[in-house]
Structures are given as C-alpha cells and as structure tokens.
Chain A
Amino acid sequence: MEDNILDVRNLNISFSNYGKTSKVLRGVSINVSRGERVSLIGQSGSGKTVTMRAIIGTLPTPPAIIESGEILYENQNLLALSRLERNKIKGSGISIILQDPLLSFNPVLTILRQMEDIVKYSDVRIGISRGHEERKKLITETLRKVQLSDHERLLNSYPIMLSGGMRQRVLIGMSLLNNPKLLIADEPGTALDVTTQKEILDLLNSLVKDEGLSLLFITHNLGVVREMADRIYVMQNGEIVETNSRENIFKKPEHQYTIKLMESVPPLFGDKVTDVKNTNSEVDGIISVSNLSKSFPIRTGFFNRITSQNHAVKSVNLVINSGDIYGLAGESGSGKTTIAKILLGLYGATSGTIKIDKLNLDEQVELKSYRKLIQIVYQNPGSSLNRKRTVAQILSVPLKFSGYSNEMIKDRVSELLQMVDLPVSYSAMYPHELSGGQKQRVAIARALSLEPKILVLDEPTSALDVLIQGTVINLLHRLKKQLGLTYIFISHDLSLMRNFCNKIAIMFKGEICEAGNTKDIFSNPQHLYTKALISSIPVISDKEENLKPKVTYEERSAVLQNTRKI
C-alpha cells in the first residue's frame, strides 16, 4: 500500500547468548497507515518490545541478529540506511513514549535540560540553529499541548519532584518535540493508577487526532486496546497470530490464543461476573479494627525536626469475618498496604484498636503463635523470594523457627508443594529457574507453611500475565476452601476484585470511603470517588462500558484534584 507510513515486512530476529541462538521474532509483518492507530498486543516475552526496538533502532546488535526482513518507513528501508541517515529519523520521524514514567527520565537533570537536549541535538542533525530562548518557547508550547501548565516551576523540577501523571505527560511532550509523524507507545500509563491512566489515554487519543499522527500502541491490556486502536495485531511467541480491525477482534476473535486472552480478562459487569459468597455464615469478626490511624513524621531542615505528619491511614474501621475474602481497593498511596503492615505487626499503629481472633494485637504480636495466625504473600515473587536459596530452603525457614525437626520439615515441604500444584522435584530448584506464576506459588506455599488462619494477599497477581493470573486465582480459591482460610486481598485491579472478593472496602487518601458487599458496591456505588474509579477501568465490551457509573468530567476532576502533587 502506498499510504503506509510504517511497513514491517517479514522480520526475523534472533538472539545469541553464550553461543546459544534463539529465535525471538518469526516473520513479523506489521503496517500502519497514515493517521491510523494500531495496537500490538501480547504477553511479556512475546516479542513486542523487540519489535519496537527494531523499529526505533535501539536493538543492541549483538546479541540480537536481524536475520531477514525489511522495516519501511515512508518507503525507505530503515535497516539499509546508514547510521547517520537513520539517526535523522529518530525523534523527528518516529518517536517513542516509554512505559515507566520514572525510569524513563534522567534522574539528575532538570526537565528543561532534558527536553532542551532533545531539541538541540535534533537541530544539529538537521542542520538548523536555534537559540536557548527559541527552544524554550517550543518546549513551553509542547507542554501546553499535553495540558501542563505552571511551566517555569515544572521546567526547573527534577523528575522525582513530579507526580506519576505529570511525568507521563512530560514524556508524551518529549516525544512530540520534534514533530514526529509516527508515535510508538510502549504501554504508557500501565504503571499509573487507573484514574490517571484514563486521563493519559484520553490525552493521547486527542493528540493523535489533532496532530494527525499515526500511533503504534504496544500493550498487554485488552481493555486499553479497545480505547486506543483502529486495528489490532496479536502476538504470541514472536509470531503475529491474528490481525483484524478492533470491532472484529472483540466481536469474533479467531485464533485460540486471542480467545484465551479475552476470556482471561475478569469481567466488570454482565452475566459472566462471578459473585463470591462467604459460605461461613458465622459473624465472628476474626479481625476487627476500630479507629485505626497511622501517621509518619516528615523531618526537614537543619536539625531534622518533625515539621509535619503524613497521615497514611485515618480512623479506619473494619470488620472481617472468618471465611471472607475482603478486598482493600485503592490507588497507590491510599493506605492499603500500610493497613496490611499494621495487621502483620510490622508497623505500630498511631492510635486505634485492633482485635485479631478475639485478642488485642499488642498482646499477641510478640508471640510465636501470632505468626501462625496471620501471614502475607507479597506482590513480586521475584524479590520476595531469596534468590540464593532453593525452594526447599525457602519453605523450611518458617518451619525451622517454629521448632519442626528436619524429618518433619522434609515432609511438610513436599506437602506444601503438592498443595500449590508444584511437583515435589521443584524443591531443589532456585527461584530463577521458575516462571513468575510458579514463583508466586512458592510464595503462597511459604505463607501457608505454618497453617495460618488469615492470609494477607498484597497484589499477588499484579506482577503476572493475565493468563497466569487466572490460574493463581483459582489456586487461591481452592486453598481457601480446603484450609478454611480468610483472605485480605489488597489490589488496585477492581475488575479482578469484583470476581474474587465477597466484600470490598474502597480506600481514598487513607480513609475508607465506601465498604460493603462487592456486588452492591459495583452495582450501586455511592461515593463519587468510587464512581470515578469504576468508570476509569478499561473494559472489553460496549455492554460493560454502558453499565459503568456515569461521572461527568467536572465531578471527576473535583474529586481527583486533591490527590495530585504540585
């Protein structure tokens, strides 16, 4: 087609490491026409990022080897260009927006310096000269495009001084500085809270439209794709397995893998939603929290005096019964993890009383028996498991401390592995030999080793791919039934919580703004923040979209305004 701005033809790339060669891209063909929004979707390791790097020219060769194929940008083959010619296209022809808004910045330079460098060196390449003032004017104009104001202060800030949403806006601004024609976005906004993510996606959409850009959007999130793409490519193991227009993909996905991806997205509304009930009808209040507050002192100045308090948790009341799966939902900084840490006795509370299993927390927190009552599974098994220890060693640590003999430990370890559906032979493996899902199973097994009654799950699935997420959730359901557990489930993923928790509390700035049965909260949210939150969740069908609570733009910004930094 003549009108293709980008045309990747039959791209084959392999990586060679320590003499081993593995193929990562197999005959990938992707095209983007002018003004079109195209999405590339796939799980981690499917080859999306390699494709992106090959297009923008940051693929390290070696270890990567481009075996065959062409990447045509405006009908010239990028792979055949000289380094100098290729560099001319960078930023001014094709530009990128990276994923993590903090890591994508140089931490030691001000925003102004970073943006100015981009303009400066592009000018050098093209051969025009502009002064500092002219460059600054361009930067200010671009920042206006991404709806940022208060320029002077912003420009003189360092990246850590800005909020996540602002950083993502500045990143988009950076990519626009040299008037690119094609934008490649690598999961922008996924590291942000849903409410912020929605704003960013809306902004990106309007920019593409107003500036007449083309967009190649790389993501693993189907809900986001629905809002961001005209056409979709589905990628699996380095191959494009399906491509179609957005409507067709969502209406009748053809490839097995696409169908599986669709099914793994937890539904937010409709008949597919699972309502979880607590089969234990007893109202025993195994955990009861009243008036819990926690504040952290902020120290500043010459003598490190306490100048103010950061109120992380403000008079929270909770009652959790045996057999509940109690969801604590909220965005980052809302205080949900602080509550979990207080329950585990890792932080002391500033005020308030907590009763767990009919005893005050302070009375039992020092006792060994308390560790047999409540345990935690962390978000990222990659860092919560000691990578220098085998699975068996990891699992035996808590056992040793509670006086198991070596014989008993061995039996218990194999029992635990069977419990989480891992073969006993895995006990000799190290964490890096396991997949993400398997690692999380080991982490769950470790938490269960002392037979606790309560398990705190701190975003146990958010580091995992959707397909694996489902299997871990099923495992958690089974274990709960088998062992009669009570869960406290901390997450920001509301669609997942809709299908997993029987009760939910929505946290907003350290307070619980709404709590109750999950079903009721979702069908009839009362607090404006809950409404804004639910309406920001990307969903995968129009039907669900229509069932979301309606929040006007003004209402939304009124309630969210207070959460922003600077």
Chain B
Amino acid sequence: MLDFLQAVSDGVLFGATYALIGIGFTLVFGVMHKINMAYAAASVGGAYCGLLVLKVMAGAPAWLVFLGAFAAGGVLGWMVYLTCFHFIPLSSPLATLMSTVGMLLLIDEVIVHVTNGMPQNYPLMFDDVMLRAGEFTLRGDLLLVFGVSVLVMIGLLLLLYHTRLGLATRAVSQQPVAAQLCGIRLVRVNALTFVVTGLLGGIAGALIGASVGMLSPLLTLPLTVKGLIVTVIGGLGSVPGAIVAGLLVGGFENVLQLYRGVTERDLYVMLLLFVFLVFRPGGIFAPKSGRD
C-alpha cells in the first residue's frame, strides 16, 4: 500500500511536466485548430538551449539554466510559428501538420548533431532534500518540479482569464471571424500563443531534464506522444483538462511502472487513452463548441 501511495505521489508530481506539455498542445489547438507536432521537441530544444548558460558562465546556478530554457523556449515557439504556420496556407488541414512533423525531426537532428548523440547532464536543484513521513517520502527535486509547474500554470491562467491579451486569445478561439471584426489582429494573437506556449515548453523541458538528471534526444518522441495523449484525455482545447490529465497520466504511469516495469508501462498508458477514446472521446473537459 505504501509503495502504491509513493508511486502515485511521485508520478503526480512529475506529471505536472506532462500537464505543461499538454497545455502547449491544447492552447495552440484552441486558438488555431491546428496540432503543433513540433511542440514537445521544441520544448526539449529549449531545455538544451538552457545548457548554453553553463557554456557561457561555468558554474552558473541551476535556476539560471532554467531561466535560459524558459526564454529559449519562447524564441523557439516563435520560430516554429514562423516556419510552420505563418507562411503556410492554414486552409489545408495537412499542410501545417506535415510542416510541424518536419520541424520535430529537424529539431531532433540538430540536437543529435550538436551533442554527438550523447546525453547531457542537467543541473539539479534540491536533489538532496527529502521530506519524510515515516516510510513515505517526498523528493525535493520532484517538489520543485511540481511547484514551478504550478506557478507557471497560475501565471498562465491569470494571463488567460484576467488580462486583455488572454481574453483576446480566448475570443479568437471562440469566434475567430468576430474577433477580427472587433479589431483583434489574428496573426498577432496566433504568434503570441506560440511564444507563450514556447515559454511553458522551455520550462517544462528544463524541469524534465532536472528531475531525470539529464537530457537526451530520445526524449522528444515519447514526450510528443505523451503530450498528445494528455491533450486528448483532457479534452482538446481545454487548459484545465490538460492540467488534470497531465497529473492523471503521471500518476497512472508511475503506478504501472511499479507493478509492471518500465518496459510495459507505456502499453497501459495507451490503454488508458483507448478507454477514453471509446467511452469519453471528448476528454475530461470537452470544451463547448460554438466556433464558426
């Protein structure tokens, strides 16, 4: 029983990073009704860029690396928008899907090339802290992952629900035509959505790197798949859905890792997706439609 609880809590804490990745997919889908397949790869790319801080300034504190990853994620998000969306006809449903798959592969290749395919160590924070309650423990680094993720999510929700930019973004996702007729510049909202999701992705990538202790190009594909699963389970376009689904998937996979091992674990995650697709295809929070 204790093992089970331990696995759930560790998994849920780590699941916060899945939630961030899921939010990235879901926000872009909500605003543009497009899937950005390059999102998880760009997030990992942002985390790699964070390591450049260590190149410039040896012995820089870990939080500075995280900050670098955060900023680099935003820049990468904007670049993905420019290369995969801005100049590509949005009326064709497949065009941007293919361009973002191409971008995913490109980012992957660049990472492999620059690092010679070797995993890179990622700086840790609070990895020596351990909260105990009898046998039950809370790892300090996972608490950091969770805490930072929650802060970032709160920031995002404040932005989306209480600032004009956020309301304009939601207006575009609900009624793109009417939004233009209210003087909202669609292209700008689209680009800013990519920058904001990129920032989230950069920090998510850095947190994943920190909690695993290293980054490897092998992370991008599984993270893409997991992000998409979280998005679908949460409900395409729903930010609260992505948060809940991210924590759910994190806890779920860690429990199955405990009982069935790491090699089998993802099978059950797929099974969870299957169950949702069959019984609740709209996801946990299927967003209300009403878009033209």
* Same complex origin of A and B: no
Task: Give A contacts to B, CB under 8 Å.
Answer: none
